[in-house]
Amino acid sequence: MSVTGVLELWWTVPAAVALLGYGMSLAGLTRTQRAVWVTARIVEVGRLAHGDSRQGGIPVTVAFRNPVTGAESRLANTGKHGDSVEEAWVGRELAVRHPRGRPDLFRIVVPVAGRRSGRGGPDCAVALLLVGLVIHAIVLWGYPWALLGFGALVTAAAAASRDIRDARARDARLASGAAVPARVVAVTKDVYTDADGDEFVSHTPVIAFTTTEGTDVTVLAEHGVTDPAGSLGRELTVHYCPADPTVYTPDRAADRRSNRRTVAAIVVLLVLGSASTATGALTLWWRTR
Protein backbone atom coordinates (compact mmCIF):
# COMPACT_ATOMS: atom_id res chain seq x y z
CA MET A 1 0.00 0.00 0.00
CA SER A 2 1.31 3.49 -0.89
CA VAL A 3 1.94 6.23 1.65
CA THR A 4 -1.13 8.07 0.37
CA GLY A 5 -3.22 4.93 0.78
CA VAL A 6 -2.03 4.49 4.36
CA LEU A 7 -2.89 8.11 5.16
CA GLU A 8 -6.33 7.76 3.59
CA LEU A 9 -6.94 4.71 5.79
CA TRP A 10 -5.65 6.65 8.80
CA TRP A 11 -8.26 9.37 8.53
CA THR A 12 -11.02 7.21 7.04
CA VAL A 13 -11.10 4.78 9.99
CA PRO A 14 -11.35 7.53 12.67
CA ALA A 15 -14.08 9.20 10.61
CA ALA A 16 -16.11 5.98 10.62
CA VAL A 17 -15.52 5.48 14.35
CA ALA A 18 -16.57 9.07 15.07
CA LEU A 19 -19.76 8.79 13.01
CA LEU A 20 -20.68 5.50 14.67
CA GLY A 21 -19.92 6.86 18.14
CA TYR A 22 -21.89 10.09 17.69
CA GLY A 23 -24.77 8.14 16.18
CA MET A 24 -24.89 5.83 19.20
CA SER A 25 -24.65 8.82 21.54
CA LEU A 26 -27.56 10.59 19.84
CA ALA A 27 -29.59 7.39 20.05
CA GLY A 28 -28.70 6.95 23.73
CA LEU A 29 -27.10 3.55 23.09
CA THR A 30 -23.61 4.01 24.54
CA ARG A 31 -22.65 2.00 27.61
CA THR A 32 -22.53 5.06 29.84
CA GLN A 33 -25.96 6.21 28.66
CA ARG A 34 -27.56 2.79 29.16
CA ALA A 35 -26.11 2.51 32.66
CA VAL A 36 -27.95 3.53 35.82
CA TRP A 37 -26.48 6.73 37.24
CA VAL A 38 -26.94 7.48 40.93
CA THR A 39 -25.42 9.72 43.57
CA ALA A 40 -23.53 7.74 46.18
CA ARG A 41 -22.34 8.89 49.57
CA ILE A 42 -19.20 7.77 51.36
CA VAL A 43 -20.25 6.13 54.63
CA GLU A 44 -16.89 4.75 55.70
CA VAL A 45 -13.29 5.72 55.00
CA GLY A 46 -10.61 3.06 55.30
CA ARG A 47 -6.91 3.53 55.87
CA LEU A 48 -3.96 3.09 53.56
CA ALA A 49 -1.12 1.44 55.44
CA HIS A 50 2.40 2.81 55.16
CA GLY A 51 4.04 1.26 52.10
CA ASP A 52 0.78 0.25 50.38
CA SER A 53 0.25 0.94 46.68
CA ARG A 54 -1.72 4.02 45.77
CA GLN A 55 -3.19 2.41 42.67
CA GLY A 56 -6.58 1.65 44.23
CA GLY A 57 -6.86 5.05 45.87
CA ILE A 58 -8.30 5.51 49.35
CA PRO A 59 -10.49 2.55 50.38
CA VAL A 60 -14.04 3.70 50.98
CA THR A 61 -17.48 2.21 51.40
CA VAL A 62 -20.23 3.95 49.46
CA ALA A 63 -24.00 3.79 49.87
CA PHE A 64 -26.54 4.46 47.12
CA ARG A 65 -30.16 3.63 46.42
CA ASN A 66 -31.71 1.88 43.45
CA PRO A 67 -33.81 4.61 41.78
CA VAL A 68 -36.51 2.04 40.90
CA THR A 69 -36.81 -0.17 43.98
CA GLY A 70 -35.38 2.21 46.56
CA ALA A 71 -33.17 -0.58 47.94
CA GLU A 72 -29.89 0.67 49.39
CA SER A 73 -26.54 -0.86 48.48
CA ARG A 74 -23.46 -0.48 50.66
CA LEU A 75 -20.35 -1.55 48.76
CA ALA A 76 -16.59 -1.12 49.09
CA ASN A 77 -14.52 0.22 46.23
CA THR A 78 -11.84 -2.46 46.63
CA GLY A 79 -11.00 -4.05 43.30
CA LYS A 80 -11.87 -2.56 39.93
CA HIS A 81 -14.69 -0.17 40.64
CA GLY A 82 -13.97 2.79 38.39
CA ASP A 83 -11.91 5.82 39.29
CA SER A 84 -9.84 5.84 42.45
CA VAL A 85 -10.90 8.13 45.29
CA GLU A 86 -8.04 10.44 46.23
CA GLU A 87 -9.93 12.75 48.62
CA ALA A 88 -12.29 11.07 51.04
CA TRP A 89 -14.50 11.97 53.96
CA VAL A 90 -17.71 10.55 55.38
CA GLY A 91 -20.60 12.24 53.64
CA ARG A 92 -18.80 13.09 50.40
CA GLU A 93 -21.06 12.56 47.40
CA LEU A 94 -19.78 10.74 44.33
CA ALA A 95 -21.28 9.88 40.96
CA VAL A 96 -21.72 6.13 40.45
CA ARG A 97 -22.92 4.17 37.45
CA HIS A 98 -23.75 0.49 37.16
CA PRO A 99 -25.49 -1.87 34.70
CA ARG A 100 -29.22 -2.17 35.22
CA GLY A 101 -29.94 -4.69 37.94
CA ARG A 102 -26.26 -5.09 38.89
CA PRO A 103 -25.34 -2.52 41.55
CA ASP A 104 -22.44 -4.79 42.58
CA LEU A 105 -20.74 -3.86 39.30
CA PHE A 106 -20.76 -0.17 40.20
CA ARG A 107 -18.10 2.22 38.95
CA ILE A 108 -17.15 5.48 40.63
CA VAL A 109 -16.86 8.34 38.14
CA VAL A 110 -14.59 11.27 39.09
CA PRO A 111 -14.96 13.83 37.59
CA VAL A 112 -18.38 13.56 35.95
CA ALA A 113 -18.24 16.51 33.50
CA GLY A 114 -18.59 15.30 29.91
CA ARG A 115 -18.59 11.60 30.82
CA ARG A 116 -22.31 10.85 30.78
CA SER A 117 -22.82 11.57 27.10
CA GLY A 118 -20.72 8.69 25.77
CA ARG A 119 -18.89 11.04 23.39
CA GLY A 120 -15.40 10.55 24.79
CA GLY A 121 -14.44 7.91 22.21
CA PRO A 122 -15.86 9.80 19.20
CA ASP A 123 -14.17 13.00 20.34
CA CYS A 124 -10.80 11.20 20.39
CA ALA A 125 -11.54 9.78 16.95
CA VAL A 126 -12.22 13.31 15.64
CA ALA A 127 -8.86 14.47 17.03
CA LEU A 128 -7.10 11.61 15.22
CA LEU A 129 -9.09 12.42 12.08
CA LEU A 130 -7.93 16.03 12.10
CA VAL A 131 -4.30 15.04 12.66
CA GLY A 132 -4.58 12.54 9.80
CA LEU A 133 -6.05 15.15 7.47
CA VAL A 134 -3.26 17.60 8.25
CA ILE A 135 -0.53 15.01 7.65
CA HIS A 136 -2.24 13.96 4.43
CA ALA A 137 -2.30 17.60 3.29
CA ILE A 138 1.41 17.96 4.11
CA VAL A 139 2.29 14.89 2.00
CA LEU A 140 0.19 16.10 -0.92
CA TRP A 141 0.84 19.87 -0.86
CA GLY A 142 3.98 20.55 1.17
CA TYR A 143 5.25 22.04 4.41
CA PRO A 144 3.07 25.20 4.53
CA TRP A 145 0.20 22.92 5.46
CA ALA A 146 2.17 21.76 8.50
CA LEU A 147 2.34 25.35 9.71
CA LEU A 148 -1.28 26.05 8.84
CA GLY A 149 -2.82 22.75 9.93
CA PHE A 150 -0.95 22.03 13.15
CA GLY A 151 -0.97 25.73 14.06
CA ALA A 152 -4.76 25.77 13.74
CA LEU A 153 -5.10 22.56 15.79
CA VAL A 154 -2.85 23.87 18.58
CA THR A 155 -4.70 27.20 18.63
CA ALA A 156 -8.10 25.49 18.78
CA ALA A 157 -6.98 23.10 21.52
CA ALA A 158 -5.54 25.92 23.62
CA ALA A 159 -8.61 28.11 23.11
CA ALA A 160 -10.94 25.26 24.10
CA SER A 161 -8.89 24.31 27.16
CA ARG A 162 -10.40 24.99 30.58
CA ASP A 163 -6.97 25.11 32.21
CA ILE A 164 -6.80 28.89 32.56
CA ARG A 165 -10.31 29.14 34.00
CA ASP A 166 -9.69 26.19 36.32
CA ALA A 167 -6.36 27.58 37.53
CA ARG A 168 -7.86 31.00 38.27
CA ALA A 169 -10.92 29.48 39.95
CA ARG A 170 -8.71 27.24 42.09
CA ASP A 171 -6.54 30.17 43.12
CA ALA A 172 -9.60 32.21 44.07
CA ARG A 173 -11.16 29.38 46.07
CA LEU A 174 -7.96 28.73 48.02
CA ALA A 175 -7.40 32.46 48.61
CA SER A 176 -10.77 32.68 50.37
CA GLY A 177 -10.39 29.29 52.05
CA ALA A 178 -9.20 28.10 55.44
CA ALA A 179 -5.94 26.74 56.84
CA VAL A 180 -5.81 23.85 59.32
CA PRO A 181 -3.09 21.62 60.79
CA ALA A 182 -2.52 18.28 59.08
CA ARG A 183 -0.32 15.23 59.38
CA VAL A 184 1.20 12.68 57.01
CA VAL A 185 -0.25 9.40 58.30
CA ALA A 186 1.22 7.09 55.65
CA VAL A 187 3.33 7.13 52.48
CA THR A 188 2.38 4.88 49.60
CA LYS A 189 5.03 3.14 47.51
CA ASP A 190 4.77 2.03 43.89
CA VAL A 191 7.56 0.49 41.83
CA TYR A 192 7.51 0.95 38.05
CA THR A 193 9.69 -0.50 35.32
CA ASP A 194 10.46 1.49 32.17
CA ALA A 195 11.08 0.18 28.65
CA ASP A 196 14.78 -0.35 29.42
CA GLY A 197 14.02 -2.52 32.43
CA ASP A 198 15.08 0.15 34.95
CA GLU A 199 12.99 0.44 38.10
CA PHE A 200 11.93 3.66 39.74
CA VAL A 201 9.92 4.20 42.89
CA SER A 202 7.07 6.64 43.41
CA HIS A 203 6.00 7.77 46.89
CA THR A 204 2.76 9.60 47.66
CA PRO A 205 2.00 11.01 51.13
CA VAL A 206 -1.39 10.28 52.69
CA ILE A 207 -2.47 13.38 54.60
CA ALA A 208 -5.19 13.57 57.23
CA PHE A 209 -6.74 16.83 58.44
CA THR A 210 -9.91 18.03 60.11
CA THR A 211 -11.82 20.94 58.61
CA THR A 212 -13.02 23.86 60.69
CA GLU A 213 -16.49 22.28 60.44
CA GLY A 214 -15.19 19.12 62.13
CA THR A 215 -15.03 16.85 59.06
CA ASP A 216 -12.15 14.36 58.99
CA VAL A 217 -10.58 14.36 55.51
CA THR A 218 -8.00 11.96 54.07
CA VAL A 219 -6.18 12.82 50.83
CA LEU A 220 -3.50 11.39 48.57
CA ALA A 221 -1.21 14.38 48.03
CA GLU A 222 0.68 14.13 44.76
CA HIS A 223 2.08 17.65 45.06
CA GLY A 224 3.09 20.11 47.73
CA VAL A 225 5.07 17.84 50.08
CA THR A 226 8.86 17.99 49.89
CA ASP A 227 10.79 14.72 50.23
CA PRO A 228 7.61 12.59 50.11
CA ALA A 229 9.52 9.35 50.79
CA GLY A 230 10.63 10.64 54.19
CA SER A 231 7.49 12.57 55.12
CA LEU A 232 5.79 10.00 57.39
CA GLY A 233 4.60 11.70 60.58
CA ARG A 234 5.34 15.21 59.33
CA GLU A 235 3.14 18.02 60.62
CA LEU A 236 1.79 20.32 57.91
CA THR A 237 -0.63 23.17 57.31
CA VAL A 238 -3.24 22.45 54.67
CA HIS A 239 -5.12 25.22 52.87
CA TYR A 240 -8.49 24.09 51.55
CA CYS A 241 -11.79 25.35 50.18
CA PRO A 242 -14.54 24.88 52.82
CA ALA A 243 -17.19 24.35 50.12
CA ASP A 244 -15.10 21.62 48.46
CA PRO A 245 -12.22 20.02 50.40
CA THR A 246 -11.03 18.30 47.20
CA VAL A 247 -9.51 21.72 46.45
CA TYR A 248 -6.55 21.82 48.85
CA THR A 249 -2.81 22.28 48.98
CA PRO A 250 -0.08 21.70 51.60
CA ASP A 251 2.00 24.47 49.95
CA ARG A 252 0.02 27.58 49.00
CA ALA A 253 2.97 29.39 47.41
CA ALA A 254 3.89 26.40 45.23
CA ASP A 255 0.26 26.03 44.22
CA ARG A 256 0.12 29.66 43.07
CA ARG A 257 3.31 29.18 41.07
CA SER A 258 1.85 26.06 39.45
CA ASN A 259 -1.31 27.96 38.49
CA ARG A 260 0.76 30.76 36.96
CA ARG A 261 2.78 28.22 34.95
CA THR A 262 -0.46 26.66 33.70
CA VAL A 263 -1.79 30.02 32.52
CA ALA A 264 1.56 30.89 30.91
CA ALA A 265 1.73 27.55 29.07
CA ILE A 266 -1.73 28.02 27.53
CA VAL A 267 -0.91 31.59 26.51
CA VAL A 268 2.33 30.40 24.87
CA LEU A 269 0.42 27.72 22.96
CA LEU A 270 -2.10 30.30 21.77
CA VAL A 271 0.65 32.63 20.58
CA LEU A 272 2.70 29.90 18.88
CA GLY A 273 -0.39 28.29 17.31
CA SER A 274 -1.66 31.61 15.99
CA ALA A 275 1.77 32.56 14.64
CA SER A 276 2.14 29.19 12.94
CA THR A 277 -1.31 29.43 11.39
CA ALA A 278 -0.69 32.94 10.12
CA THR A 279 2.71 31.98 8.71
CA GLY A 280 1.27 28.97 6.91
CA ALA A 281 -1.60 30.99 5.47
CA LEU A 282 0.77 33.74 4.26
CA THR A 283 3.10 31.17 2.71
CA LEU A 284 0.25 29.55 0.82
CA TRP A 285 -1.01 32.96 -0.32
CA TRP A 286 2.47 33.87 -1.51
CA ARG A 287 2.76 30.64 -3.50
CA THR A 288 -0.48 31.32 -5.32
CA ARG A 289 0.49 34.80 -6.45
Q: Residue 284, SS3?
A: helix
The pLDDT of 147-176, averaged and rounded, is: 93
Asked if residues 25 and 117 have their Cβ atoms less than 8 Å apart, the reply is yes
Asked if residues 263 and 168 have their Cβ atoms less than 8 Å apart, the reply is yes
Asked if residues 67 and 89 have their Cβ atoms less than 8 Å apart, the reply is no
Using the predicted structure, report yes or no on whether residue 1 has a pLDDT greater than 70: no
The pTM assigned to this predicted structure is 0.85
Using the predicted structure, report yes or no on whether residue 119 has a pLDDT greater than 90: no
Model confidence pLDDT, tens digit, residues 206-222: 999 999 999 999 999 99
Among candidate residues 49, 46, 45, the one with its CA nearest the CA of residue 186: 49
Q: Please provide the average confidence, as pLDDT, over all residues in the chain.
A: 90
Q: Residue 127, SS3?
A: helix
Give the pLDDT confidence score for residue 3 in this predicted structure. Answer: 60
Amino acid letter, residue 53: S
User: What band does 137 get if pLDDT is binned at 50, 70 and 90?
Assistant: confident
Asked if residues 123 and 107 have their Cβ atoms less than 8 Å apart, the reply is no
Model confidence pLDDT, tens digit, residues 171-230: 999 998 999 999 999 999 999 887 777 888 999 999 999 999 999 999 999 999 999 999
Element of type H or E holding 185: strand 178-193
More confident residue, 86 or 21: 86
Give me the half-sphere count of Cα atoms (radius 13 Å) on the Cβ side of residue 247.
18
Model confidence pLDDT, tens digit, residues 56-77: 899 999 999 988 788 899 999 9
